[in-house]
Amino acid sequence: MGRLDGRVALVTGASRGIGAAIARAFGREGARVAVNYHRSEAKAAAVVAAIEAAGSKALAVQADVADGPAVRAMVERAVAGLGPIDVLVNNAGIADATPLDQMSEEVWDRLIATNLRSVFLCTRAVLPAMLARGRGKIISVTSQLGQKGMPNHTHYAAAKAGVIGFTRALAREVGPRGIHVNAIAPGPIETDLMGPITDEFRREKSAIFALRRLGLPEEVAPTAVFLASDDSSYYAGQTLCPNGGDIMA
């Protein structure tokens, strides 16, 4: 028996990195998983195949999660193929490093749309059915940069801090109606979102972490499994931080 047996999960940005690791972990725990992707169809298909090889059911669903009509269509396809959504993981995101005095409005708007607007759109799309059933889990992947900031990442930090605020407010709004809303704020994780990681970067970052290394996507996924399962039944509005001991609450 898996911890997510009989549940349906939708994971955005699930063709690679943290999202793919979460989707695969959900499949191993018995969930049926809708694997969202934007452009990486082949990578999404590989994640679906891995979930099916683990004995569960999965479906790849394409959508730009910053586009409202596309999000609604994605949720409809996921429900038609797998059943009502019990767990939403808002994971899709992009990164960029630009000094604020050199940042265009287009760069700002694009990152805010993908990293924050998408959380609103996807959550809004699944929430009515969750409220009607009186249960559901909404998990958003934010970042420790939303807590501590970083030079040249004002847009990214603003979006990720916004996700934390969104999580806390929504938890108070829908918690009384049986919906659990929480977030995950990983530290630096070795994914392609970070771009090429040099040995020098690894040394500099690792030197300040208690565990002296960067994390792996597979080390974030168990936190999502926990928040999606009944084990987190008394968690609401929380931001859990698998970060190797960088920020310590």
The set of catalytic residues is 156
Nearest-Å Rg of the Cα atoms of the chain is: 17
Q: Which residues have CB under 8 Å from 17's CB, separation 6+?
A: 189, 191, 192, 193, 217
Instruction: Name the DSSP class of 183.
Output: E
Angle, helices 17-28 vs 41-53, to 10°: value is 20
Strand order across the beta sheet in which 136-141 lies: 58-62, 32-37, 8-11, 87-90, 136-141, 179-184, 239-240
Give the three-class secondary structure for 15. Answer: coil
d(Cα 46, Cα 184) in Å, to the nearest integer? 25
Query: Which secondary-structure segment (H or E) carries 37?
Result: strand 32-37
d(Cα 238, Cα 139) in Å, to the nearest integer? 10
d(Cα 62, Cα 89) in Å, to the nearest integer? 15
HSE of 103 in the Cβ direction (CA atoms, 13 Å)? 19
d(Cα 84, Cα 78) in Å, to the nearest integer? 8
Taking the CA atoms of residue 26, residue 54, residue 7 and residue 176 in that order, the dihedral angle to the nearest 10 degrees is -20
